[in-house]
């Protein structure tokens, strides 16, 4: 009965979305406040219906209702309750339901904000969101029904949740990523609404900016926790593989970063409105394209949600309808517009514009590497793979240019600037020299990637420090300046967070040490100044799996005890699937990483007690995710900082004052 209620509520949400879009569009066309006044109660009803629907699905999981196909395929009576709830979004049908529910939640939240105006901009925005909810709901009902029954015959036991997903990463990573996609949906709706209103004004940008920042925060968290999840769960010891599905979420993040900076320029200076609209549409389109790649089966990945061509084609249709229509509208509305340039080559506007161009270029380069094998196979019938060498050789140089601009941007003023660049160039030369010394001392031969990484970290941190010093020398204490200072320091935290992530990625990529060994009780190995001693093999049993566990003692260079590490080889009871669970000892300076492979049989001329053991030392790897936390924290500060709309004239006066202060 509960699944039927959930399905009925999903159908009701679809109908309400259709009604909301129609009456809002008609109300706008006829200038009827009576019709548009129904937008608020309707979006609340849609939210309540979808919330109740997803609760119904969660209830089916918690009560082990295996007559529901989705529950039978992704749960088991032995599965922990927490993972039963997480399984709601653990695969295709449930994740799409969560996605459409989150869109309705964000749409309802827009109406609860006191600053939300009920003018034409917000009315059109709500109509567009209603159409998106309608499209996603119809997709669920016709191709991906999460409440489909297995009647009259259904299993008494479920197939269980994929063992790889039985991790805290499932609880954190997918919701963050989907909330980021939802934020991009809000920005998409706002951008299209702004187009219909004649363009993105400073006032419209003011309302869109918090949603853009939150979308970026969630996408940052989604990508970072996905990386951390792969590092901890898969047992390969890597934190990023340039996997097609990883790229599917990374590409929208790059464009969302550009979008966030562009919205800031539109809000602060009233410029680049068309660019901001384009980036909003592009980011949303890429999120749908990523979903197509993940769910259509056109790419093979351990991360893929589904492999159903019908579902993939349905998502492709949604992409063409929404993104295609928006791009056509953008082309028709902006083809006759001219861009007024009132800033110099060395201004902050120029640097941010160049940075956005590089971010989009980086995103397109990753997209090309992801999709090229598919295009090659379609055109030639042969298969080809594009791996890390391509992505590193293309992406890293573009990223280095972005990092270079990240150092210069905080040191420049808005609009015209007369500040001396001599000190900045001296600092740049010093960072290059220090990075060169570090590179040559660290490795016997010159390593370009290490040099780029070291220089990027030094340059971002020192340039940010110089910007803070310059800012601190100006003692303006009125309220608006305090808010401006909070925004400035939030930006500095984000830039430092990028530097910390680059530091971790650079050092673990260039100084990681790893060996694959045959080890058994009583055997040891020295690596990176640590001695690893395999003491014994233990049997472990839990409610969902049995495991063989190695107890490995770690000693430092002075033979002092450091820790015990316990890698496991797990066998799940429900499906006999084997999984390697890595044992990790983390510290601020690096991780000791051990994973356990297959048992080596006596036929290999080795003892039955020996196993394949992968031992690794990964310096500064934790800084990758510490940097991501810094970035997320900076975005939260920005969202919580009040903003005031200012006229162009006022901004120009303040820009000149800042330039004089810098000089």
Tens digit of each residue's pLDDT (9 = 90 or more) over 392-416: 999 999 999 999 999 998 888 776 5
Tokens of 137: 């709901």
Is the distance from CB of 418 to CB of 663 less than 8 angstroms? yes
Range 39-45 average pLDDT: 94
Tokens of 173: 């990573």
Nearest to 360 by CA among 502, 253, 225, 440: 253
pLDDT band at 446 (very low <50, low <70, confident <90, very high): very high
pLDDT of residue 337: 60
Give yes or no for residue 61 having a pLDDT over 70. Answer: yes
Nearest to 179 by CA among 258, 252, 84, 82: 252
DSSP secondary structure string for all residues of 341-400: --S-TTSHHHHHHHHHHHHHHHHHHHHHHHHHHHHHHHHHS------HHHHHHHHHHHHH
Token pair 């690096």: residue:
590
Range 59-82 average pLDDT: 94
Cβ-based neighbours of 22, under 8 Å, separated by 6 or more: none
The angle at the Cα of 627, spanning 623 to 631, to the nearest 5 degrees, equals 170
Give yes or no for residue 643 having a pLDDT over 70. Answer: no
Cβ-based neighbours of 289, under 8 Å, separated by 6 or more: 248, 319, 367
Give yes or no for residue 607 having a pLDDT over 60. Answer: no
Cα pseudo-dihedral 229, 230, 234, 235, rounded to 10: -100
* Residue 580 bridge partners (DSSP): 569
Give yes or no for residue 651 having a pLDDT over 50. Answer: no
pLDDT band at 657 (very low <50, low <70, confident <90, very high): very low
Cα pseudo-dihedral 180, 181, 184, 188, rounded to 10: -160
Phi and psi, residue 165, nearest 5°:
-85, -10
Among the residue ranges 12-16, 49-53, 443-447, 622-626, the one predicted with the least confidence is 443-447
Q: Would you tell me how many other CB atoms lie within 10 Å of the CB of residue 649? A: 8
pLDDT band at 107 (very low <50, low <70, confident <90, very high): very high
Prediction pTM value: 0.92
Q: What secondary structure letter does DSSP report for 553?
A: E
Q: Would you tell me how many other CB atoms lie within 10 Å of the CB of residue 427? A: 18
Token pair 């969302």: residue:
256
Is the distance from CB of 342 to CB of 415 less than 8 angstroms? yes
The radius of gyration of the chain's CA atoms, rounded to the nearest angstrom, is 27
Cβ-based neighbours of 462, under 8 Å, separated by 6 or more: 407, 427, 430, 431
Tokens of 157: 């036991």
Tokens of 538: 């233990």
Is the distance from CB of 36 to CB of 28 less than 8 angstroms? yes
Nearest to 74 by CA among 102, 93, 59, 56: 93
CA distance linking residue 19 with residue 130, whole number of Å: 9
Tokens of 363: 């995103």
Is the distance from CB of 537 to CB of 550 less than 8 angstroms? yes
Angle formed by the axes of helices 39-62 and 92-112, to 10°?
150
Identify which of 311-320, 342-351, 470-479, 637-646 has the greatest average pLDDT.
Answer: 311-320
Is the distance from CB of 49 to CB of 13 less than 8 angstroms? yes
Give yes or no for residue 91 having a pLDDT over 80. Answer: yes
pLDDT tens, position by position, 350-380: 899 999 999 999 999 999 999 888 888 778 8
Distance separating the N- and C-terminal Cα atoms of the chain: 72
Give yes or no for residue 282 having a pLDDT over 60. Answer: yes
Taking the mean position of all CA atoms in its chain, how far away is CA 262? 19
pLDDT band at 561 (very low <50, low <70, confident <90, very high): very high
Phi and psi, residue 631, nearest 5°:
-65, -45
Share of the chain above pLDDT 70, in %: 88
Give yes or no for residue 142 having a pLDDT over 50. Answer: yes
Average pLDDT over the chain reads 88
Peptide bond into 125 cis (omega under 30): no
Token pair 């202060």: residue:
661
Cβ-based neighbours of 394, under 8 Å, separated by 6 or more: 365, 369
Give yes or no for residue 494 having a pLDDT over 60. Answer: yes
Is the distance from CB of 353 to CB of 261 less than 8 angstroms? no
- Burial, 33: exposed, middle or buried (Cβ in 10 Å; 0-12, 13-18, 19+)? exposed
* Residue 550 bridge partners (DSSP): 537
pLDDT of residue 646: 44
SS (H, E, C) 642-656: CCCCCCHHHHHHHHH
Which three-class secondary structure state does DSSP give residue 533?
strand
Taking the mean position of all CA atoms in its chain, how far away is CA 422? 38
Indicate if the alpha-carbon torsion angle 214, 216, 222, 228 is positive or negative.
negative
Token pair 């259904």: residue:
154
């Amino acid at each position: 009965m509960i699944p039927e209620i959930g399905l009925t509520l999903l159908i009701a949400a679809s109908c309400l979305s259709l009604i909301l879009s129609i009456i809002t569009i008609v109300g706008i066309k006829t200038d009827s406040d009576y019709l548009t006044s129904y937008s608020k109660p309707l979006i609340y009803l849609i939210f309540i219906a979808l919330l109740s629907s997803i609760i119904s699905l969660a209830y089916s999981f918690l009560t082990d209702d295996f007559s529901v196909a989705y529950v039978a395929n992704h749960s088991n009576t032995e599965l922990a309750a927490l993972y039963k709830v997480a399984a709601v979004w653990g695969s295709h049908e449930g994740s799409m339901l969560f996605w459409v529910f989150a869109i309705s939640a964000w749409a309802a939240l827009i109406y609860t904000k006191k600053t939300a105006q009920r003018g034409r901009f917000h009315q059109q925005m709500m109509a567009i969101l209603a159409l998106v909810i309608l499209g996603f709901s119809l997709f669920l009902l016709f191709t991906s029904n999460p409440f489909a029954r297995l009647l009259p015959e259904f299993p008494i036991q479920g197939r269980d949740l994929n063992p790889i997903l039985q991790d805290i990463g499932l609880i954190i990573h997918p919701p963050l990523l989907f909330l980021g996609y939802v934020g991009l949906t809000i920005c998409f709706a706002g951008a299209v609404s702004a187009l219909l209103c004649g363009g993105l004004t400073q006032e419209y940008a003011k309302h869109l900016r918090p949603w853009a920042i939150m979308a970026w925060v969630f996408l940052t968290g989604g990508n970072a926790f996905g990386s951390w999840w792969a590092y901890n769960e898969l047992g390969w010891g890597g934190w990023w593989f340039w996997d097609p599905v990883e790229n599917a979420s990374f590409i929208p993040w790059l464009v969302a970063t550009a979008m966030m900076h562009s919205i800031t320029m539109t809000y602060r200076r009233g410029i680049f409105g068309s660019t901001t609209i384009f980036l909003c549409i592009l980011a949303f389109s890429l999120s749908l394209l990523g979903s197509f790649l993940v769910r259509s089966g056109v790419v093979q990945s351990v991360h893929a949600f589904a492999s159903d061509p019908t579902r993939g084609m349905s998502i492709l249709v949604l992409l063409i309808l929404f993104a295609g229509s928006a791009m056509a509208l953008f082309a028709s509305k902006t083809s006759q517009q001219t861009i007024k340039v009132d800033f110099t080559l060395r201004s902050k506007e120029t640097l941010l514009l160049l940075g956005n161009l590089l971010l989009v270029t980086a995103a397109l380069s990753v997209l090309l590497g992801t999709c090229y094998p598919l295009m090659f196979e379609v055109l030639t019938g042969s298969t080809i793979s594009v791996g890390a060498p391509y992505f590193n050789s293309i992406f890293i140089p573009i990223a280095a240019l972005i990092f270079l601009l990240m150092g210069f941007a905080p040191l420049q003023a808005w609009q015209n600037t007369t500040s001396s660049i001599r000190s900045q160039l001296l600092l740049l030369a010093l960072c290059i020299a220090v990075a060169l010394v570090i590179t040559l001392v660290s490795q016997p031969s010159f390593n370009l990637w290490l040099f780029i990484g070291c220089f990027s970290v030094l340059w971002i941190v020192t340039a940010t420090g110089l910007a803070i010093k310059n800012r601190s020398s100006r003692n303006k204490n009125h309220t608006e300046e305090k808010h401006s200072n909070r925004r400035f320091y939030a930006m500095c935290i984000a830039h430092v967070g990028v530097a910390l992530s680059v530091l971790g990625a650079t050092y673990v990529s260039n100084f990681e040490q790893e060996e694959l060994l045959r080890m058994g009780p009583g055997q040891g190995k020295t690596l990176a100044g640590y001695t690893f001693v395999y003491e014994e093999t233990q049997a472990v049993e839990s409610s969902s799996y049995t495991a063989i566990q190695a107890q490995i003692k770690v000693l430092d260079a002075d033979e002092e005890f450091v820790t015990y590490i316990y890698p496991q080889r797990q066998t799940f009871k429900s499906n006999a699937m084997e999984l390697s669970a890595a044992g990790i000892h983390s510290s601020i300076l690096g991780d000791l990483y051990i994973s356990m492979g297959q048992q080596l049989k006596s036929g290999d001329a080795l003892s039955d007690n020996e196993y394949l053991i992968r031992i690794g030392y990964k310096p500064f790897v934790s800084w990758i995710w510490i940097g991501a936390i810094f970035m997320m924290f900076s975005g939260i500060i920005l969202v919580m900082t009040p903003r005031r709309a200012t006229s162009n004239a006022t901004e120009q006066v303040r820009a000149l004052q800042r330039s004089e202060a810098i000089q």
